[in-house]
């Protein structure tokens, strides 16, 4: 099967040009310039009539590498319930939003082998995903046994491990454990991902608020202060410097934490950081309005609006490298309301896997980002950092034909009534955005077109990833 995507503007992280893209089977085989934009470039590659089976006219639209969301939680057990999107519904929703690869998080039960957790998550995803996927491994206790398992995992393509300074007694690792895991990655080439919030201090504040009767979702935000995120970001960067390895900060939410990343990078620390659309497009104000605020409870929490400018700036100047969604959806009715009367019992997490590209494209519309930088933070950087850089994140011959034809002018309204995520509300209900994914190809197959899903569960494959720890950032 040969598909020609003609007349579009091909946007890669390193530049854009008018070009046709030829796909054969699952792979991009040629990118021919429609016009030679510079003398160094080759003119249009002429294809004989009938040489292709299908032509997609992308005139007036952008042709971009499919989005890579390196931070999702499908079917994640949290606080006695389970995040609503399955691998089937969540990857289908991702596809509608122009994302063609996710990296989800497999979980370890404390005291049990990592392998057991990985097998559980593999079984949940196998045969169900609409798009390609991989796994990070969450390590809840660092021991000689789990450290040895990490080596095996790296060899098998699960090359990244999330540790926590939050959630004491459940997921928190102390400094010694974090340093041991980091030192292990110095040998095996893996990469440590850190949830960096001071969970011990946060629990003191959260308990004090709840015991004083301050039980609304608003107090979730007030208890998890930006300084307690910044302190841990600083600490884990220092630990990574001691181990002489890179470290990746997940879901960075605040200006305070970003300042620590900037300071670390200025010292020469190998720190990479991810933020999420919700920290750019929502604020702590959304946590108000009584229990409605439960819809916006996630950790780290939403911050005062004036943090947003710093995060956009950080994305523009490469202090922040990646945007992942931390997609972890819970219905308002029946799940979020488990915490009515006690914000500590609200399952943490927001839906968002479908909206990432569009929300970030508002950064292009508003002048925060170039269109190339948008592609980089939504796709190319994650491919490079997470060991998919030889196959994904670029429109060029030899790469997977994970391609989105994106209309930069189409306006549409975000709403639970029209989204495809299996959750009963939208964090962005009624918000109009400019830009939308029109056609989505996953390894050469059209899986979304004209608002219709043409994919199938199981078409997405598990993709082992290369170890990149030794060559970052």
Q: Which residues make up the interface to ligand URP (CB under 6 A)?
A: 73, 195, 251, 298-299, 326, 328, 348-349
In the complex with Zn ion, the residue whose CB is nearer, 293 or 300, is: 300
Question: How many Å is the maximal CA-CA distance in the chain?
Answer: 76
Strands 432-442 and 81-82: unpaired
* 326 near Zn ion, judged by CB under 5 A: yes
Write the CA distances from 409 to 30, 161, 217, 279, 306, integer angstroms.
Answer: 27, 39, 37, 24, 28
Residues 6+ apart with CB under 8 A from 289: none
Complex with Zn ion: residue 61 or 195, whichever CB lies closer: 195
Structure tokens at 170: 């459940």
Size, binding site for Zn ion by CB under 5 A: 2
Pick one of Zn ion, ligand URP, none as the site partner of residue 225 (Cβ within 5 to 8 A by kind).
none
Nearer to ligand URP, 104 or 149 (CB): 104
Measured from each CB, the residue nearest to Zn ion is 195
Q: Considering beta carbons, is residue 136 or 384 the nearer one to Zn ion?
A: 136
Residue 124 binds Zn ion (CB under 5 A) = no
Shortest Cβ 282–ligand URP spacing (Å): 13
CB of 416 to ligand URP, least distance (A): 19
193 versus 378: smaller Cβ distance to Zn ion: 193
Q: Kindly tell me which of 20 and 326 has the beta carbon lying closer to ligand URP.
A: 326
Task: Let me know: does 451 contact 420? Beta carbons within 8 Å.
Answer: no
* Residue 390, token pair as written in the block: 């030889």
Instruction: By CB under 5 A, tell whether 331 contacts Zn ion.
Output: no
Nearest residue to 3 (alpha-carbon basis) of 58, 65, 42: 58
Q: Given the rule CB under 5 A, which of 93-101, 117-125, 259-267, 323-331 is the region that contacts Zn ion?
A: 323-331
298 binds, among Zn ion, ligand URP, none (CB under 5 to 8 A by kind): ligand URP
Q: From the CB of 375, what's the least distance to ligand URP, in Å?
A: 25
314 interface partner picked from ligand URP, Zn ion, none, CB below 5 to 8 A per type: none
Is the Cβ–Cβ distance between 30 and 45 less than 8 Å? yes
Radius of gyration of the chain from its Cα atoms, rounded to whole angstroms: 22
* β-strand pairing of 160-164 with 191-195: parallel
Considering CB distances under 5 to 8 angstroms, the limit depending on partner class, which of Zn ion, ligand URP, none binds residue 321?
none
Output 297 or 403, the one with its CB closest to ligand URP: 297
Q: Which of 468, 445, 444 is nearest to 456 (CA)?
A: 445
Cβ neighbours, 10 Å, residue 124: 18
CB 439 within 8 A of CB 449: yes
Q: Quick one: residue 468, left, alpha or beta (phi over 0 = left, psi -120 to 50 = alpha)?
A: alpha
State the residue for tokens 């990070």.
136
Residue 268's nearest CA partner among 437, 6, 473, 63 is 473
Nearer to Zn ion by Cβ, of 195 and 443: the residue is: 195
For residues 270 to 309, the per-residue mask of contacts with Zn ion, x marking binding by CB under 5 A and - elsewhere, is ----------------------------------------
Segment lying near Zn ion (by CB under 5 A), choices 56-64, 89-97, 195-203, 282-290: 195-203
Closest CB to ligand URP among residues 195, 336 = 195
CB 363 to Zn ion: min, Å: 22
Which residue in 195, 220, 327, 419 binds Zn ion (CB under 5 A)? Answer: 195
Name the minimum Å distance from CB 230 to ligand URP. Answer: 17
Q: Which two tokens stand for residue 136?
A: 């990070």
Distance CA 151, CA 168 (A): 26
Cβ atoms of 177 and 237 closer than 8 Å: no
Least distance from ligand URP to the Cβ atom of residue 140, Å: 12
* DSSP codes, 166-209: SSTTTTB--HHHHHHHHHHHHHH--EEEEE---HHHHHHHHHHH
Residue 352 Cβ, how far from ligand URP at the closest point, in Å? 11
Closest distance of CB 199 from Zn ion, Å: 11
Taking CB atoms, the residue at the shortest distance from ligand URP is 348
Prior bond of 473 cis (ω within 30°):
yes
Q: Which residues bind Zn ion (CB under 5 A)?
A: 195, 326
């Amino acid at each position: 099967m040969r598909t020609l995507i003609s007349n579009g503007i091909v946007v890669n992280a390193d530049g854009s040009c008018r070009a046709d893209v030829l796909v054969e089977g699952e792979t991009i085989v040629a990118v021919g310039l429609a016009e030679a934009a510079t003398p160094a470039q080759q003119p249009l590659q002429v294809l004989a009539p009938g040489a292709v089976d299908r032509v997609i006219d992308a005139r007036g639209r952008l042709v971009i590498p499919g989005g890579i969301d390196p931070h999702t939680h499908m079917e994640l057990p949290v606080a006695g319930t389970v995040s609503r999107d399955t691998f089937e519904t969540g990857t289908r929703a991702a596809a509608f939003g122009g994302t063609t690869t996710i990296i989800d998080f497999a979980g370890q039960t404390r005291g049990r082998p990592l392998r057991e957790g990985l097998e559980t998550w593999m079984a949940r995803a196998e045969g169900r995903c609409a798009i390609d996927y991989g796994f990070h491994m969450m390590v809840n206790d660092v021991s000689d046994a789990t450290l040895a398992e990490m080596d095996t995992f790296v060899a098998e393509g699960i090359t990244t491990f999330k540790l926590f300074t939050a959630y004491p007694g459940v997921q928190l690792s102390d400094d010694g454990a974090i340093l041991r895991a980091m030192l292990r990655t110095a040998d095996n080439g893996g990469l440590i991902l850190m949830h960096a919030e001071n969970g011990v201090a946060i629990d003191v504040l959260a308990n004090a608020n709840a015991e004083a009767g301050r039980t609304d979702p608003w107090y979730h935000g007030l208890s998890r202060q930006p300084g307690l995120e910044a302190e841990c970001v600083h600490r884990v960067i220092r630990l990574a410097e001691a181990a002489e390895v890179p470290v990746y900060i997940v879901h960075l939410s605040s200006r305070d934490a970003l300042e620590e990343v900037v300071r670390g990078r200025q010292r020469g620390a190998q720190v990479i950081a991810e933020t999420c659309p919700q920290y750019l497009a929502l604020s702590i104000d959304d946590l108000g309005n009584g229990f409605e605020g439960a819809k916006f409870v996630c950790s780290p929490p939403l911050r005062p609006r004036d943090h947003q400018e710093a995060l956009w700036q950080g994305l523009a100047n490469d202090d922040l490298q990646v945007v992942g969604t931390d997609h972890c959806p819970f219905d308002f009715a029946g799940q979020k309301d488990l915490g009515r009367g006690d914000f500590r019992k609200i399952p943490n997490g927001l839906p968002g896997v479908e909206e990432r590209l569009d929300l970030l494209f508002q950064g292009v519309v508003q002048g925060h980002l170039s269109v190339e930088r948008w592609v980089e933070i939504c796709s190319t950087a994650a491919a490079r950092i997470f060991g998919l850089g030889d196959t994904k994140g670029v429109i060029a011959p030899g790469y997977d034909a994970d391609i989105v034809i994106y209309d930069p002018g189409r306006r549409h309204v975000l709403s639970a009534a029209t989204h495809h995520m299996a959750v009963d509300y939208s964090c962005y209900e009624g918000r109009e955005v400019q830009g939308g994914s029109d056609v989505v190809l996953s390894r050469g197959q059209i899986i979304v077109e004209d608002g219709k899903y043409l994919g199938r569960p199981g078409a997405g494959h598990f993709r082992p990833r290369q170890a990149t720890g030794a060559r970052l950032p």
